Structure 1
Amino acid sequence: MKQADRNAKTQQIIKEAFIDLINEKGFNNLTVSDITRAAGVSRGTFYVHYTDKYELLTKIEDELVANITHALSENLDEPLTKHTAEEISGSTYRVFNKALNYVDSERITMRALFSPNGHPQFFNRIKNLVDVLFTDQLTANHGRFSDALPIDYTKEIALNSLLNIVRHWLDKDNPETPDELADILMRSRFIAPHELITFE
């Protein structure tokens, strides 16, 4: 086995042990000794790859953010250049679908980092990422957020509703497929909150 392959395998073993420990003990309570014991590697081996648990966390988060950025930015301009409701809904579905397939492939890691035991700032980092990408594309396509509410409230409603649905999906024991969740997210964009409650 090549050295690069050995390194990648060791890093994956350390990552898996780290994520298990976040779920078990919480990030703040775990130590490098916990990680090396759970991963079955020496402290020396750990320090070849990471200076401490914070660098390990940062590298995992950076990789997730980079891949989510790629999945979104590659396709995000598509729905914003459409004009009819049918065009918008169809292309929005495709954007969500591509990003969610990646998130699903990293479900265990994403769920751990989004959990109360994980890193509180990770959720905000993802939210800021989506905010920047969406706002940039909206501006580039001569769009804007509605001024029906103050802009900061409009963004909070739009972004938190979207990301909290994804977080709920990550937490489910029997989750929908990425395709099904993409459809739910797409449809949720066209339903006002008061339409979610009906009376006889």
Structure 2
Amino acid sequence: MAVEDRRKRRSRKVLREAFLSLVLERGYASITVEDITERADLGRATFYTHYTDKSALLDQIVTDLIEEMQRRLEPLFEVSGQAFTGKAVLALFQHAAEERDAYRVVLRGEGDGRALRRFVEDRSAAAAKAFAERAAAQGAELRVAAEVLARAWVGELLITMSWWLESEPAMSAEEIAAQLLDLSLRGRFWASGFDGEPPAATARKSGA
């Protein structure tokens, strides 16, 4: 049984790697199950033992990413007296670096964007819950709806991550997480090099 389990894990791993490499080379729409099995050097019967079609394989990849990400983030999103620490962002970028090809396929919107939509919806729901719970734990009240706050954060994060993975800039996961933390804590006005409060905020306070 142990040998059989290892064989199954190996087959799924090889199929996953073949699928990701082909999608990155040719695009999801143009590849077939036969292409995947040929690249993996496995028979079609082996593929259908694990997946009904290439869509099911992509769905499983997204499921694996979400589950592993949640496993890593759950301890960091626990309700505590801490505000933003940047640890969750760092964990996300470290995971993306480890699963670079899978993230690139998802973030490119391969598979008619279904995988990306599922990924965004899952992360947005998790972030909205975390923001609301953190505010409640600290006796604060959200000034922006949790859903809006979460989607703005997730959108900003994933667009930055996509650029980081595709262009391979000379910036480590730690460096980019630190910059995103500064942006979250200090805002775009500060990040753009200005001091003091944004003009709009000053105008609101003065009633202008």
Amino acid at match of 2:175: E
Match of 2:92 in 1: 99
Amino acid at match of 1:123: L
**RMSD over aligned Cα, in angstroms?**
2.5
Q: In structure 1, how many angstroms separate the alpha carbons of the residues matched to 2:109 and 2:91?
A: 27
1:38, CA displacement in angstroms? 1.2
Amino acid at match of 2:45: G
Where 1:162 maps in the other structure, the secondary structure is helix
Residues 183 and 191, structure 2, Cα contact 8 Å, conserved in 1 = no
Match of 1:85 in 2: none
Q: In structure 2, how many angstroms separate the alpha carbons of the residues matched to 1:117 and 1:68?
A: 20
Change (3 A) 1:168 1:191: farther
Match of 2:52 in 1: 51
Larger radius of gyration: 2
1:114, CA displacement in angstroms? 1.3
Q: In structure 2, how many angstroms separate the alpha carbons of the residues matched to 1:175 and 1:5?
A: 38
Match of 2:174 in 1: 179
- Higher mean alpha-carbon deviation, 114-123 vs 162-171, is at 114-123
Where 1:192 maps in the other structure, the secondary structure is helix
- Higher mean alpha-carbon deviation, 111-120 vs 61-70, is at 111-120
Change (3 A) 1:12 1:119: farther
Change (3 A) 1:135 1:154: closer
Q: 2:158 aligns with which of 160, 163, 167?
A: 163
Change (3 A) 1:125 1:145: farther
Change (3 A) 1:186 1:66: same
Residues 27 and 118, structure 1, Cα contact 8 Å, conserved in 2 = yes
TM-score (norm 1): 0.81
1:101, CA displacement in angstroms? 2.0
1:51-90 correspondence runs (5 A): 51-77=52-78, 81-82=81-82, 88-89=83-84
Q: In structure 2, how many angstroms separate the alpha carbons of the residues matched to 1:151 and 1:74?
A: 20
Q: Which runs of 4+ in 1 moved over 6 A?
A: none
Q: How many residues align?
A: 189
Amino acid at match of 2:21: D
Residues 22 and 118, structure 1, Cα contact 8 Å, conserved in 2 = no
1:30-41 correspondence runs (5 A): 30-41=31-42
1:126, CA displacement in angstroms? 2.6
Q: Identity over aligned residues, as a percent? A: 22
Where 2:86 maps in the other structure, the secondary structure is helix
Unaligned residue ranges in structure 1 (runs of 5+): 83-87
Change (3 A) 1:44 1:175: farther
Unaligned residue ranges in structure 2 (runs of 5+): 195-208
1:66, CA displacement in angstroms? 0.7
1:191, CA displacement in angstroms? 3.7
Residues 86 and 178, structure 2, Cα contact 8 Å, conserved in 1 = yes
Match of 1:21 in 2: 22
Match of 2:143 in 1: 146
